[in-house]
Amino acid sequence: MSHIRIEGLTKHFVGKPPTKAVDDLHIEIEEGEFLVLLGPSGCGKTTTLRCLAGLETPSGGRISFDDQVVFDAERRINRSPDKRKIGMVFQSYALWPHMTVRKNIAYPLRARRLKQGLRNGWVEETAKMVDCVALLDRYPAQLSGGQQQRVALARGLVARPDLLLFDEPLSNLDARLRDHVRAELHEVHGRLGFTAVFVIHDQSEALALGDRLAIMRHGRVEQYDTPQQVFEHPISEYVAAFIGMDNRVVCTYQDGRWAAAGRPIGGSELGIAGTAPVAMRLRADDLQVTPCDASVGANMSSLDAVVVDAEYGGRHLDVVLDANGTRLFARIPSGVSDSWARGLKQNDPVRASFRQSDAHFFDDETGSGASDIAEPVLNAVDS
Amino acid sequence: MTAVGVAEADAPSPVSRPLPLRALANWAGVLAFVAALCYLVILPLVRLQINAFSDGARGYRIGYTDPAFAKTLAYTAGLALGSLAIALVLGTLLAWAATRLPRSLRMLRVLPIFPIIVPAVASVVGWSFLFSPRPGYVNALLRNLPWWSDLKQGPVDIYTLPWIIIITGFGLTAFVYLFVSAGFQNISSEHVEAAQVAGSSQWGVFFRVTLPLLRPTLIYGGGVALLLGLGQFTGPLLLGRNSGIEVITTDIYRQMSASPIEYGAAAALGSPLLLFGMLIVLVQKVLLGDQRRFVTHGGKAFRSEARPSVIGAVSIIAYSFVATVLPVIGLVIVALSRFWSAKIDTDHFSLQSFRTIFAQSSVTQAIFNSVTISLLAVAICLPVGYVASSILLRGRRFGVLRTILDYVVSMPLGIPAVVFGAGFLLTYTKAPFVLYGTNWVIVLVYITLMLPFAVRMQTSAMLALGSNYTEAARVSGSGVSGTSLKIELPLMRSALGGAAALMFVLLTHEFAASLLVRASTTQVMGTILYDQYNNGTYPLVAAIALVMTAVTAIGVTAAMLVGGSDALGGL
Ligand SMILES: Nc1ncnc2c1ncn2[C@@H]1O[C@H](COP(=O)(O)OP(=O)(O)O)[C@@H](O)[C@H]1O
Ligand SMILES: [Mg+2]
């Protein structure tokens, strides 16, 4: 286990057009911390991970494990992957098909000449930890996806690396197995406390797994914080959108008051400082749908809209609304079978309301400058 | 974490790995490797050209002012295009038929490759025993038919262009079959099933879906077959020369057998083939571009298990009978007879010919030479090919060196063996390396000829493996060489077995280049067979041809044991 420091990491790929896959990245990972790299496809997560592993040579920057520099562009230090004390779990698992599970797991011990590990039964111990002792003498081709995943994890862990790297290792599993393996992984990490970097593109899993999240955008870190902070206080519209605030409503200051989607807002006034247009972001399940004549609760604001579509989803209904040309997505309790909500039809007029504390405001043009109602948006717009 | 104390020992000084020095060493290594291959492959060709242009381009004047040259050119083109057409049609149909084999008859898949296993010299001789106008066995049989009963010879004359084309086409069919079979592996069975579900008949699926999807493969395989057709030597030499059918390669051989040797003229004659070969290699490189784009992961290979067809099995068996078994039958009959005549005298069948050849030290020495030289060349070619493939796939940073390497290792496929033979003879009879008269010159020419196969087969094996397995080993703490030895090579085992088998087979057959670089003391099976053929001692010729075939078969079997039963299928 160690403390990982990434400073100014940059990676260009030559080609047509040239890509800046990682762009001046700064991250510090505390010892034993589980860092999740989150971001849409192509934002540079895999490249960052491969730079950490030494599989990719960065174009610039510095990476150190504790006080040992493993890469430094200026001093021309570049330790090859086998000289870094890491483990890695690949998306495809990459279990060597010509070796039994036992040999696969023992390989890092042999390659790193950890004789004492071989002698003291680290292989069996690790296999036990991930619950695959019974599989030790099988070949990878004889395992199911979930079992392969666990063997890959054991192979990554067995040599007790400073840093364990994961590149979307759950994405080849089906949804139910994924939940299961994720929970196991969380548990194993809790028990062993290794330092880990975990690449993922699904936000809900990221929240569950990480001690900290780094949300990446175009090769840079957009927000680096705990899952709670990211979830509750996204610092930019990009982050807000990525963690599930699907509704975007442009709010403008007209005739001395705030309007949303070009129409005056009902209920309580939005507490935004300044007068520049802002983009409001809201989660679908923070939006309530009520009949037009229902009263708006305290500290709630509302918009008038019409129903475009309603989908039944068991416990909830997914309702698509149109507010003066702006699409809104609401996820509301489906209630009992004769509830008002179940009767929604296309073009029914409704009222969409939300709690002010659930709304997040960003500069309309740059998407930057997180500002809740409590924090006037002006500060951010200036920056 | 005392456990990893060993690894930490070299940690404290972070300046321990000065990047530039290591990179420089790598560069130097790759430079030396590429330079050595250039010396091997390019230098003989350059020397030939220098010779051809010297003395006021005397070589070109001699070669191209010959009034018969236009005819030679026409014959060459006719032979190449005609045999290409036959090979493309037959090879594709057979590969398709192989995908339609019922499960129980899967084994038949390897049959169409067999014409590669029977040496070209052997099968050409075998064909001549069957279809020679007067004493040919099949001709004699056909003359029993009422409408041919008045013929004194014929009806088939193997010594004419159409028949040379057909026989050459049979040989090339096997190559096209190999390429197209590999192409089928890349077509997902779902494409085909989708067309079947959409209401296409079997033939409709073949013409509207399968064939268009195979187009890249057909272009590539067709290009290779065309080059091989242009470089054909054995058929025209053994069958065409007496009836005045010369192609460029036999013309080169004629110049090389002149006294004194007309290197310049031979080189000049080879130039069109050289240029055309380089052009095709270039075009293929440009068309295929970066090979990494063709990595296919998983996916169901083309296999239409749903509707196996008997026609598939029947056509494969029929083709194999005609292309492989028939000429071998001819060889067996002649080898057992005392002399070759239209009448088969089964009463006097004996193994005398075999006893005779095994009693001749020249023959046994030639067999020994063939086997040892081929094994040595394969043993050198495999690691060279491995290094070259690694550089080609992972050595982007070597830039222009990598591009040069790419062309150098592809060139021998585009240039006829006869041309290389001439170049090697010229190069290695002079300083600094006078190797003529030793086996080494044959080893070198064999390595050269096999480079494209060694590299291409290992490259595709590495591509198919992808980079995940090796990267997983590197992050597990394995060094570069450890990763190669413990992970990559074992995973490539069957591909390596297949490559070794193919190369061994092609080399024990090698005839064209061997004929040029041999000395009276350094003979191989093909050359000794040719000498006996010229002497007219046909039963001995047949016996040697059968021994050659047997040696090859043993080699193939051995490779299949090493590389797993799929070694040949992996070709
Ligand atoms: N080997 C490569 N050559 C060229 N471009 C690459 C290569 N690998 C990744 N890229 C580019 O770098 C960017 C980041 O890729 P990647 O790190 O794989 O993203 P992610 O893992 O977040 O989906 C992408 O634009 C991708 O096209
Ligand atoms: Mg990725």
Size of interface A-B (CB pairs under 8 A): 104
Nearest to B478 among A75, A111, A117 (CB): A111
Percent of chain B at pLDDT > 90 equals 17
**Is the pLDDT assigned to residue B510 strictly greater than 50?**
yes
**Is the pLDDT assigned to residue B288 strictly greater than 70?**
no
CA-nearest residue, atom 12 of ligand 1: A21
* Domains of chain B, residue spans: 68-346
**Is the pLDDT assigned to residue B569 strictly greater than 50?**
no
Whether residue A154 has its Cβ less than 6 Å from ligand 1: no
What's the number of CA atoms in the CB half-sphere (13 Å) around residue B398?
25
Token pair, residue A62, equals: 């510095």
**Is the pLDDT assigned to residue B570 strictly greater than 70?**
no
**Is the pLDDT assigned to residue B543 strictly greater than 60?**
yes
A160·B491 Cβ contact <8 A: no
Whether residue A314 has its Cβ less than 6 Å from ligand 1: no
Gap from CA of B302 to ligand 2 centroid (Å): 29
Q: Look over chain B and give the mean of its residue pLDDT values, rounded to a whole number.
A: 81
Nearest to A108 among B6, B477, B491 (CB): B477
**Is the pLDDT assigned to residue A294 strictly greater than 90?**
no
Question: Would you list the DSSP string of B29-52?
Answer: HHHHHHHHHHHHHHHHHHHHHHHH
| Domain at B68-346: CATH code | 1.10.3720.10
**Is the pLDDT assigned to residue A329 strictly greater than 90?**
yes
Which of B11-25, B290-304, B363-377 reaches the highest mean pLDDT? B363-377
Question: Is cis: bond before B260, omega within 30 of 0?
Answer: yes
Cβ proximity of B243 and B160 under 8 Å: yes
Q: What ligand has the least distance to the C-alpha of A48?
A: 1
> Within 10 A of B396 (CB to CB), how many other CB atoms are there?
12
CB proximity A68 to B under 8 Å: yes
Contacts of B342 (CB under 8 A, 6+ apart): B134, B135, B136, B137, B139, B140
Cβ proximity of B339 and B538 under 8 Å: yes
Cβ proximity of B499 and B450 under 8 Å: no
**Is the pLDDT assigned to residue A106 strictly greater than 90?**
yes
Of B327, B256, B191, A97, the residue nearest B200 (C-alpha): B191
A87·B17 Cβ contact <8 A: no
How does pLDDT run across A61-86, given as a tens digit for each residue? 999 998 899 999 999 899 888 888 99
A76·B11 Cβ contact <8 A: no
- What are residue A13's DSSP bridge partners? A19
Helix B19-65 and helix B361-394, axial crossing angle in degrees, nearest 10 = 130
Whether residue A22 has its Cβ less than 6 Å from ligand 1: no
Which pLDDT value is given to residue B341?
74
CB proximity A72 to B under 8 Å: yes
Of B387, B378, B374, B375, the residue nearest B458 (C-alpha): B387
How does pLDDT run across A339-378, given as a tens digit for each residue? 888 888 899 999 999 998 889 988 887 777 644 444 433 3
Residue in A14, A16, A19, A49 to alter for ligand 1 test, most ligand atoms within 8 A of Cβ: A19
Model ipTM value:
0.78
- Please give the residue that has the higher pLDDT: either B433 or B6: B433
Amino acid at A349: P
**Is the pLDDT assigned to residue A200 strictly greater than 50?**
yes
If you search the block for the tokens 């975990």, which residue do you land on? A198
Nearest to B491 among A78, A87, A98 (CB): A98
Give A60→chain B minimum CA distance, Å: 14
Q: How confident is the model at residue A52 (pLDDT cuts 50, 70, 90)?
A: very high
> Within 10 A of B112 (CB to CB), how many other CB atoms are there?
26
Whether residue A13 has its Cβ less than 6 Å from ligand 1: yes
Cβ proximity of A196 and A87 under 8 Å: no
CB proximity B468 to A under 8 Å: yes
**Is the pLDDT assigned to residue B568 strictly greater than 60?**
no
As a whole number, mean pLDDT of residues B502-516 equals 87
**Is the pLDDT assigned to residue A27 strictly greater than 60?**
yes
What's the number of CA atoms in the CB half-sphere (13 Å) around residue B8?
12
Which pLDDT value is given to residue B197?
67
Give the residue from chain A lying closest to B476, CA to CA: A108
Which pLDDT value is given to residue B142?
81
Question: Would you list the DSSP string of A309-329?
Answer: EEEE-SSEEEEEEEETTEEEE
As a whole number, mean pLDDT of residues B481-499 equals 87
> Within 10 A of B21 (CB to CB), how many other CB atoms are there?
10
Q: Which atom of ligand 1 is nearest to the CA of A15?
A: 4
The phi-psi region of residue A153 (left if phi > 0; otherwise alpha if psi is between -120 and 50; otherwise beta) is alpha
Gap from CA of B210 to ligand 2 centroid (Å): 33
Window 288-307 of B: residues touching A by CB (8 A cutoff) are 297
Q: How confident is the model at residue A287 (pLDDT cuts 50, 70, 90)?
A: very high
**Is the pLDDT assigned to residue B65 strictly greater than 50?**
yes
Which pLDDT value is given to residue B447?
95
Which pLDDT value is given to residue B212?
75
Nearest to B17 among A68, A79, A90 (CB): A79
Cβ proximity of A221 and A29 under 8 Å: no
How does pLDDT run across A126-165, given as a tens digit for each residue? 998 888 899 999 999 899 888 998 899 999 999 989 899 9
Whether residue A17 has its Cβ less than 6 Å from ligand 1: no
Q: How confident is the model at residue B189 (pLDDT cuts 50, 70, 90)?
A: low
**Is the pLDDT assigned to residue B293 strictly greater than 70?**
no
Which of A53-57, A101-105, A142-146, B150-154 shows the lowest per-residue confidence on average (mean pLDDT)?
Answer: B150-154
CB proximity A96 to B under 8 Å: yes
Percent of chain B at pLDDT > 70 equals 87
Whether residue A57 has its Cβ less than 6 Å from ligand 1: no
Q: How confident is the model at residue B460 (pLDDT cuts 50, 70, 90)?
A: confident
Gap from CA of B499 to ligand 1 centroid (Å): 34
If you search the block for the tokens 């409503």, which residue do you land on? A249
**The 3-state secondary structure of B300-338, one letter per residue:** CCCCCCCCCCHHHHHHHHHHHHHHHHHHHHHHHHHHHCC
Token pair, residue B381, equals: 């070619």
Q: How confident is the model at residue A50 (pLDDT cuts 50, 70, 90)?
A: very high
As a whole number, mean pLDDT of residues B398-406 equals 89
Give the residue from chain A lying closest to B487, CA to CA: A96
Nearest to B15 among A54, A77, A155 (CB): A77
How does pLDDT run across B296-351, given as a tens digit for each residue? 433 444 454 446 677 888 889 999 898 889 899 989 988 888 877 767 777 778 88
* Cα gap A247→A348, rounded to integer Å: 20
CA B502 to chain centre: 8
Of B504, B503, B511, B521, the residue nearest B366 (C-alpha): B521
Residue in A10, A46, A49, A200 to alter for ligand 1 test, most ligand atoms within 8 A of Cβ: A46
- Please give the residue that has the higher pLDDT: either B508 or B348: B508
Looking at beta carbons, which residues of chain B come within 8 Å of A94?
468-469, 471-472
Q: Which atom of ligand 1 is nearest to the CA of A37?
A: 22
Q: How confident is the model at residue B183 (pLDDT cuts 50, 70, 90)?
A: confident
Cβ proximity of A287 and A301 under 8 Å: no
Whether residue A264 has its Cβ less than 6 Å from ligand 1: no
- What are residue A289's DSSP bridge partners? A352
CA-nearest residue, atom 25 of ligand 1: A42
- Please give the residue that has the higher pLDDT: either A379 or B521: B521
CB proximity A69 to B under 8 Å: yes
* Cα gap B205→A105, rounded to integer Å: 47
Contacts of B482 (CB under 8 A, 6+ apart): A82, A111, B473
CB proximity B19 to A under 8 Å: yes
* Cα gap B278→B290, rounded to integer Å: 18
CA-nearest residue, atom 6 of ligand 1: A13
Contacts of B388 (CB under 8 A, 6+ apart): B33, B37, B405, B409, B451, B454, B455
Gap from CA of B127 to ligand 2 centroid (Å): 59
* Cα gap A367→A235, rounded to integer Å: 9
Burial class of B80 by CB neighbour count within 10 A (0 to 12, 13 to 18, 19+): buried
- What are residue A165's DSSP bridge partners? A88, A197
Residue in A47, A57, A167, A221 to alter for ligand 1 test, most ligand atoms within 8 A of Cβ: A47
Helix B399-414 and helix B211-230, axial crossing angle in degrees, nearest 10 = 70
CB proximity B477 to A under 8 Å: yes
Which pLDDT value is given to residue B335?
86
B14·A97 Cβ contact <8 A: no
As a whole number, mean pLDDT of residues B505-530 equals 87
Length of chain A measured in residues = 383
CB proximity B472 to A under 8 Å: yes
Of B359, B370, B318, the residue nearest B121 (C-alpha): B370
Gap from CA of A47 to ligand 1 centroid (Å): 6
CA-nearest residue, atom 1 of ligand 1: A13
- What are residue A350's DSSP bridge partners? A305
Q: Which atom of ligand 1 is nearest to the CA of A168?
A: 21
A86·B471 Cβ contact <8 A: no
CA A45 to chain centre: 11
Which pLDDT value is given to residue B191?
66
Which pLDDT value is given to residue B564?
54
Cβ proximity of B128 and B334 under 8 Å: no
Which pLDDT value is given to residue B380?
96
**Is the pLDDT assigned to residue B402 strictly greater than 60?**
yes
